[in-house]
Amino acid sequence: MTETADNPPRIPLGIGVLIGESFSILFRNFLPVVLISFVPTLIGLLVSGSLVGFEAVIGFEDTVATDAAPPGMQLLTSLVDTVVYSVTTAFLVQLAYDAKLKRPMRFGRYIGPALRAIVPIMILSFAVGLMVGIAAIALIIPGLWVYAVFSVMEPAVVIEGVGFGGLGRSAELTREYRWPILGALIPIFVYMALIFAVAFFLVSLIGLSNGLALPVLLFAAISAIGSSLVSIFISLLYARLREIKEGVGVDQIAAVFD
């Protein structure tokens, strides 16, 4: 049966609860979460800056100058952002479950599963980024809907080790729940937009009088807060979908790291 907005799922996802838990985990574990997110965010910022210029990435070039960059470069920087988010999620998915279960953080155990998942996640992230970009050319909603279809790809790859089957696994888990997921993504992305607005504002206050290093580091640190919330939300969403569809609890999911 074709999924429509008038055919809601029988068991609600509890989007409000998931968003609330995401904020709770972020603020209760603020320092470790942001530290984990900071490294891939900074690397992505350095890559994007080398492609289109650091001034453009952190907001020191006006919109006209930024838009003047070759379309291919703009697309590439968007894909870099997608990969950064996906790699961040690969690390944070495990922390999110430990935090939800109120267990101690086990940073040493997060590294192995995340590193094993990075290659397929990076390649699949490029694919998702392209599909979302193509869908968004017409309207923003189709782009978000495509993103909703593949939104839990990263946890599926990390937790289940499905490798390049991550897109199919995500499509399977999100089936019949894509409209609620899309509805939740809108406020999440609004939050991200506000975080980036704060980052642009603070960086503009510092200026470039003392070079690019401090503005770039500050921008990466603040941006990491926004990407962390999205990663945590996606991790909890994946767990909720598996709970509804397969009867698997968070404790069982987290047990793969024991």
User: How far is residue 96 from each of residues 172, 180, 194, measured CA to CA in Å?
Assistant: 22, 21, 23
Question: 166 pLDDT exceeds 90?
Answer: yes
**225 occurs within a structural domain:** yes
**19 occurs within a structural domain:** yes
In whole angstroms, what is the distance from residue 132 CA to residue 154 CA?
Answer: 16
**45 occurs within a structural domain:** yes
**47 occurs within a structural domain:** yes
**Which of the four pLDDT bands, split at 50, 70 and 90, describes residue 75?**
low
DSSP string, 153-214: HHHHHHHH--GGGHHHHHHHHHTT-HHHHHHHHHHHHHHHHHHHHHHHHHHHHH-STT-SHH
> At 68, which amino acid appears?
A
pTM score, two decimals?
0.83
Neighbours of 224 (CB within 10 A): 25
Domain that holds residue 222: 15-257
Burial code (b: 16+ CB inside 10 Å, e: under 16) for 36-62 equals bbbebbbebbebbbebbbbbbbbbbbe
Question: 116 pLDDT exceeds 50?
Answer: yes
Q: Do 52 and 65 contact (CB within 8 A), yes or no?
A: no
What's the structural domain count of the chain? Answer: 1
Instruction: Output the six-digit token pair for 246.
Output: 């397969």
Question: 72 pLDDT exceeds 70?
Answer: no
Mean pLDDT value of segment 113-120: 84
* pLDDT, tens digit, 9 for 90 and up, residues 199-221: 888 888 877 666 778 888 888 88
Burial code (b: 16+ CB inside 10 Å, e: under 16) for 162-194 equals bbebbbebbbebbebbbbbbbebbeebeebbee
Question: Of 94, 91, 105, 85, nearest to 28 (Cα)?
Answer: 105
Question: 26 pLDDT exceeds 90?
Answer: yes
**2 occurs within a structural domain:** no
Question: Of 127, 99, 118, nearest to 232 (Cα)?
Answer: 99
Which run of H or E residues covers position 97? helix 71-100
**1 occurs within a structural domain:** no
**8 occurs within a structural domain:** no
**170 occurs within a structural domain:** yes
